[in-house]
Structure 1
Amino acid sequence: MMSNELIHDANDERLEDVLFSNNRKYRVPRYQREYTWKLEDASEFWDDLVSSDGPYFLGSFIFNVEEEATSGYRDIIDGQQRLITITILCAVLRDHAKALSDTDKAKLIQRHDIAIEDKNGKQDYRIIPSDSLLDYFKKNIQSEQGDILSSVPKKTEERRIYDVYKFFYERVNDLLLDCLSIDSKINKLIEIRNKLYDLMIINIEISHEEAAYEIFETTNATGVDLSVGDLLKNLIFKNIPEKDNKDIAKEIWEQITSNIESTGSVLKQFIRYFWISRYKFVTDKKVYKEIKKNITDWQGLLHDLWSDSILYNKMIVGELNDFTEYKRSDRIYDSLFAFRIMGVSQIYILLLSIFRNYKKLKTDPTNLIEFLENFTFQYSVVCKQPANYLEKKYANYALEIEKAVTKFSEKEISAEIQRLFSNLKKDLLSHLPNYVFFEDRFMEISYRNSEPMRMLIKYIFSKFEKFYAGPDRELRIDYPSINIEHLLPQHPSSEWGLDENEIKEYVNLLGNLIIISKHINGRVQNKLINEKLSEYRKSQLEITKQLVKKFEEEGTEWNKEKILQRQKKLAEIAYKSIWKCQI
């Protein structure tokens, strides 16, 4: 249930009574995202509007009225996409009225729906969009002299405004073509305007911004664009104002957003990982409140978010040469690359703490990171154990690392960090399933035609390749240059004497797969094993050489039993040697 204390007022109302009545004005806060509606969004809105026989429900709108008495504006917490779109449609109706030479109707729409005109003829626009859109929107949509179809949009956001206006203009024009007289055309414009006025909404008014997050979490309106990232951005912008016409906070926030979005991650997840790796473990819903309650140095917070976003980006999408500052950088990079493939995000809570404090640790964390790789493969990838345990465990140890590097003397830090690393390993080992469970789950690993699964199969065999090649051989598998080869083909030739239905239960199992170079893979096709061997012998990969040797010694018979035997042997090597977890 949503607490009534959060809400100043909430009512079902017609849009006319919210947007077009009295002298109410609205503004988009600095923290809100840009205008994101595409043509499909505008098309859905238009179809719903014109096809409705009665009042059409547009969803919930949330407005913060906290500063209305002093600024004259209500802040749009949720609903800016829809309100901007409605303003665009009003401009279309105004411009069609002008084209029909009905200046009175055009002025009415301009001076009542788009703007508010005082007794001296001065106009204030009802909607103030975000800074990124302000000039373009005022000049081309809100101004009576606007001529957007002659404008040249410079940014994606401006292009969206242009496209939505053009779409609405053409749809209204289509309706007017069916009208035989000027009067009937004007009446059609009035009809559309009345439909806008009759839109039903839930008007939620709050009187303090911290209420916004909880309300957002419990509403499900169309066009929702509020998140903990939006609210935190607003909080930071409030506490770090523009100076000398430079919005440093906004510039840094955009860098943070870019760093996180380029990893394919969600900003709110990064913010939470940042917080629980530095300060205190909290759930998603409590992150914003915790930050607001505990932070006083907003410049410091913004800088820390920025520096951690760089680390986060490096860990998830960085290249090998991005890690040269770290000892044994090649091994660290290989483990980080493995974490990417395994797709377990909770590990980054702990890694953020390790890498941000790397120089303070006085201890090389490489062995721990490799242990974490092995543990993650066993616990999460193969055994598919619950991740919620890991999240809290990693957060607790991340906080212990933060405490160690700040509370202990330089002489004491190394011993304390080593103690923490050892305790973490013991904690994790106590939750690892035994070999019987591991083997059972490992026997289920099979190929699927998806990029994440292909990468995982390549990762597994690249680790086997390193194992067979030995520690003295420098080796890094180039993933793009290798293919996954089915020993028994997915679509066997007639010589195999098998049909696809007969083999579908085992043909994709790991025991039936190897990795080989693309050009060899292209030549072996669907041949029998004894026909493939001549090509397999050309491979430089040790894992393929071992397989060739086995076929030469034991014969080339290859069936379900042989595939399962091989997979069972791979499971044993994986558990006891390659991904072995030990303190």
Structure 2
Amino acid sequence: MKIESKDTDIESLLVGSYFHIPRFQRPYSWDDENLNDFWNDVVVNQSEDYFIGSMVVFKKEKQQFGVVDGQQRLTTITILLCVIRDCFLKVGSNDLAEGIHQLVERKDRSNRNEYVLKTETSFPYFQEHIQKFDDDPELDVDIQIEEKNLSNAHIRFNKLVGSVISAIDNDASIPEENKNQVKIDKLVNLRDAVLNLSLIFITLDNEDDAYLIFETLNTRGKDLALTDLVKNHFSKHLKARGAVDHARLKWESMLDTIHNSSSDIASDNFIYHFWSSRYEAVPLKKLFPKIKKEIIKATAKEYLNSLVSDSKIYRSIHEPTYEWSKNESEVSDSLYALQMFKLSQPTPATMSLVRAYREDKIKYKKLRDSLSAIEKFHFIFTAITSSRSSGGISAMYSSFAIRLFESKDSQEASNLIQEFVTKLRDKRPSLEEFNVAFKEVIYTNSNSKQKNLVRYILEKFSLHYGYKFPVDFDELTIEHLSPQKNIGHDGWTESSIGCLGNLIFLDQKVNGELDIKGFLEKKYILNDTGCSLPEFILNTNEWTPDHVYRNAEEMAQVAYSEIWRI
């Protein structure tokens, strides 16, 4: 590997070269904090020959370079130069504006206009909305995360440079006739401060060396991202042939699927769960070396296709409205419950199950029953008893996921699922543990963190007993039979008032009629309006904390032995 380096500055760099941000690079990601730090270092605390570090590139053609390290800084500098250029135009200094634009866009040896900095991932937004000189954008652009970051940087620098110009307008000590020239002088100083930034320019001979350097630089840095490293690895093995870069398009399709989800999912976690649902459970920090070893040139295309297809599966298990039909509502309901429980442990298993269903290895009923078993297990194990696993649960899920992925036919898959469900059943906490924890689930106005769980439980009981309501479940409210105003009186505490044994579902109209009436009056109104009530409540004429806890115990028995029985 041949490496050359030299000391230079930004102006020399932009005057003599063209730069291309290759497809393995991460998107532009600087936020306001990064931009403010850059502005303060370069402009506010201006000093001669300010050093901004190194920039690593590889040779493409004569004076054409691909950027390995430094693309965030180079993109930021280009945006700031474009803002300064546009400000020169606003103060009527067209020559200075055109002078700066020569560092953004100029003619190549074939006399064709070419941008000095070219990027694929944000094309055409970066070119049309930022780099373009004194002309309106001609293309509509689909705004994604990178485009939003570029737009934010452009807006931020416009405000910062604008504040410098506004300060001159507001300075009464400057004669009005001199203010425009002072603005021009200030913009020239700002331009020169940017162009005089010094750096070390490191050049590699070829693109293959660039992949290795990119990986090395990023594995040693604090900004390590599994997604970036895996993208780089695929780019190394799947070179573009012809005008269409299929690998890049597939990779972007995968990221779009993940990033456009309404659920809070990340590409690093997706790749981690993808691997642990198919091949091996490896800690996230140790995963890339494993991927690098397993994915070679001969298999890279197959692996990338699998990532693309699994990204839709991953999104569908985290976003129950994505790619599930009304006829599959029982599956999406179970997936929603698992998200409400805030679980990641079952993800490899749920991915593998949905994948097997999508590939027609298992039927809908098998998928529905399997996900229901996971939901029921974690309701008892996680949501209620808050049991802790030493790692055996995660290992069980990953092992099952991999074996299901490797299964040859539907019969083998069915046997594996039956064995897996049996393991879930055997790992359930005891009824005694469940009973104690169930009575500790509470909901009051001042303690509402378990409200969604309470609604979930009340809905399951309503469905189990076939309770009738005049509106959909989403429109029902939670009613405290003994009202919350009783807390601190006659033995009532927040725990007994908020206990599940004291809670029922009502529609808003009836709930308003009950207000804070006494128990017997409430019961009379509920009977009179035809509302469904638990048998325990129907058979008693008084309501004390003891009644609440006894009702909760009966509910716990039904929950454990019937509703959430695996």
What is the TM-score of this pair, normalised by structure 1? 0.75
| 3-state SS in 1 of match to 2:281 | coil
**Correspondence for 1:86 among 73, 77, 86:** 77
Alignment CA distance shift 1:65-1:392 (3 Å): farther
Alignment CA distance shift 1:132-1:580 (3 Å): same
What is the one-letter code of the residue matched to 2:497?
Answer: V
What is the one-letter code of the residue matched to 2:395?
Answer: K
What is the one-letter code of the residue matched to 2:340?
Answer: I
Aligned to 2:291: 291
Alignment CA distance shift 1:531-1:192 (3 Å): farther
Deviation, structure 1 residue 88: 1.9
- Paired residues, number: 541
Aligned to 1:420: 416
Q: Structure 1 CA distance, aligned partners of 2:322 and 2:557?
A: 31
Residue 483 (1) aligns with residue 483 (2): no
**Correspondence for 1:174 among 166, 173, 185:** 166
User: Does the 8 Å contact 2:10/2:196 carry over to 1?
Assistant: no
| 3-state SS in 1 of match to 2:504 | strand
What is the one-letter code of the residue matched to 1:402?
Answer: F
Deviation, structure 1 residue 307: 2.4
What is the one-letter code of the residue matched to 1:509?
Answer: C
Deviation, structure 1 residue 378: 1.6
Deviation, structure 1 residue 91: 2.1
Deviation, structure 1 residue 515: 1.9
Deviation, structure 1 residue 198: 7.3
User: Does the 8 Å contact 1:488/1:507 carry over to 2?
Assistant: yes
Deviation, structure 1 residue 460: 1.3
User: Does the 8 Å contact 2:10/2:194 carry over to 1?
Assistant: no
Aligned to 1:72: 64
| 3-state SS in 1 of match to 2:407 | helix
What is the one-letter code of the residue matched to 2:440?
Answer: E
Deviation, structure 1 residue 309: 2.5
Q: Structure 2 CA distance, aligned partners of 1:213 and 1:530?
A: 72
Aligned to 1:342: 341
| 3-state SS in 2 of match to 1:556 | coil
- Give the superposed CA RMSD: 4.7
Alignment CA distance shift 1:298-1:379 (3 Å): same
- 1:329-373 C-alpha deviation (Å, 9 max, x unpaired): 565444333323323233231122223223335893544333222
Aligned to 2:381: 379
| 3-state SS in 2 of match to 1:147 | coil
What is the one-letter code of the residue matched to 1:444?
Answer: E
What is the one-letter code of the residue matched to 2:159?
Answer: F
Aligned to 1:577: 562
Deviation, structure 1 residue 286: 3.5
Aligned to 2:431: 435
Alignment CA distance shift 1:97-1:316 (3 Å): closer
| 3-state SS in 1 of match to 2:506 | strand
Residue 545 (1) aligns with residue 533 (2): yes
Q: How does 1:63-462 map to 2 (within 5 A)?
A: 65-66=57-58, 72-76=64-68, 79-80=71-72, 82-98=73-89, 100=91, 105-106=96-97, 109-111=100-102, 114=104, 125-134=115-124, 136-138=125-127, 141-142=130-131, 146-147=133-134, 154-156=141-143, 157=147, 160=152, 163-164=155-156, 166-177=158-169, 178=171, 180=175, 181=178, 184-196=182-194, 207-209=209-211, 212=214, 215-216=217-218, 219-220=221-222, 227-237=225-235, 239-240=237-238, 245-261=243-259, 262-264=261-263, 265-295=265-295, 296-319=298-321, 322=324, 329=328, 331-358=330-357, 359-361=360-362, 364-386=366-388, 388-405=391-408, 414=411, 416-429=412-425, 431-447=427-443, 453-462=450-459
User: Does the 8 Å contact 1:140/1:148 carry over to 2?
Assistant: no
User: Does the 8 Å contact 1:149/1:162 carry over to 2?
Assistant: no
User: Does the 8 Å contact 1:485/1:521 carry over to 2?
Assistant: yes
What is the one-letter code of the residue matched to 1:310?
Answer: K
Q: Structure 2 CA distance, aligned partners of 1:121 and 1:323?
A: 56
Alignment CA distance shift 1:100-1:459 (3 Å): closer
Alignment CA distance shift 1:391-1:202 (3 Å): farther
Alignment CA distance shift 1:557-1:382 (3 Å): closer
Q: Structure 2 CA distance, aligned partners of 1:236 and 1:488?
A: 62
**Correspondence for 1:530 among 510, 516, 520:** 520
Alignment CA distance shift 1:478-1:242 (3 Å): farther
Q: Structure 2 CA distance, aligned partners of 1:451 and 1:309?
A: 34
- 1:65-100 C-alpha deviation (Å, 9 max, x unpaired): 3556888324255652x5323212212223434555
What is the one-letter code of the residue matched to 1:93?
Answer: I
Structure 1: gaps (5+ residues): none
**Correspondence for 1:567 among 549, 552, 562:** 552
Q: Structure 1 CA distance, aligned partners of 2:529 and 2:232?
A: 58
What is the one-letter code of the residue matched to 1:307?
Answer: S
Deviation, structure 1 residue 155: 4.2
What is the one-letter code of the residue matched to 2:481?
Answer: L
What is the one-letter code of the residue matched to 2:361?
Answer: K
Deviation, structure 1 residue 505: 4.7
User: Does the 8 Å contact 2:500/2:552 carry over to 1?
Assistant: yes
Q: Structure 1 CA distance, aligned partners of 2:421 and 2:5?
A: 52
User: Does the 8 Å contact 2:81/2:100 carry over to 1?
Assistant: yes
Deviation, structure 1 residue 39: 7.3
Q: Structure 1 CA distance, aligned partners of 2:529 and 2:440?
A: 27
Q: Structure 1 CA distance, aligned partners of 2:319 and 2:530?
A: 29
| 3-state SS in 2 of match to 1:209 | helix
Deviation, structure 1 residue 29: 2.8
- 1:284-336 C-alpha deviation (Å, 9 max, x unpaired): 133333333323333322332232233333333345993588xxx56544433
Alignment CA distance shift 1:139-1:428 (3 Å): closer
Alignment CA distance shift 1:451-1:196 (3 Å): farther
Q: Structure 2 CA distance, aligned partners of 1:283 and 1:147?
A: 51
Alignment CA distance shift 1:431-1:72 (3 Å): farther
Q: Structure 1 CA distance, aligned partners of 2:203 and 2:386?
A: 45
Q: Structure 2 CA distance, aligned partners of 1:563 and 1:175?
A: 69
Q: Give the stretch that moved more between structures: 500-509 or 251-260.
A: 500-509
User: Does the 8 Å contact 1:141/1:148 carry over to 2?
Assistant: no
User: Does the 8 Å contact 2:68/2:210 carry over to 1?
Assistant: no
| 3-state SS in 1 of match to 2:280 | coil
- 1:205-261 C-alpha deviation (Å, 9 max, x unpaired): 9954356467546644xxx6x733344344445555556644444444444334333
- 1:6-45 C-alpha deviation (Å, 9 max, x unpaired): xx8999x9x9469857846543333556556677875675
What is the one-letter code of the residue matched to 2:23?
Answer: R
User: Does the 8 Å contact 2:331/2:371 carry over to 1?
Assistant: yes
Q: Structure 2 CA distance, aligned partners of 1:100 and 1:320?
A: 51
Structure 2: gaps (5+ residues): none
Alignment CA distance shift 1:505-1:45 (3 Å): farther
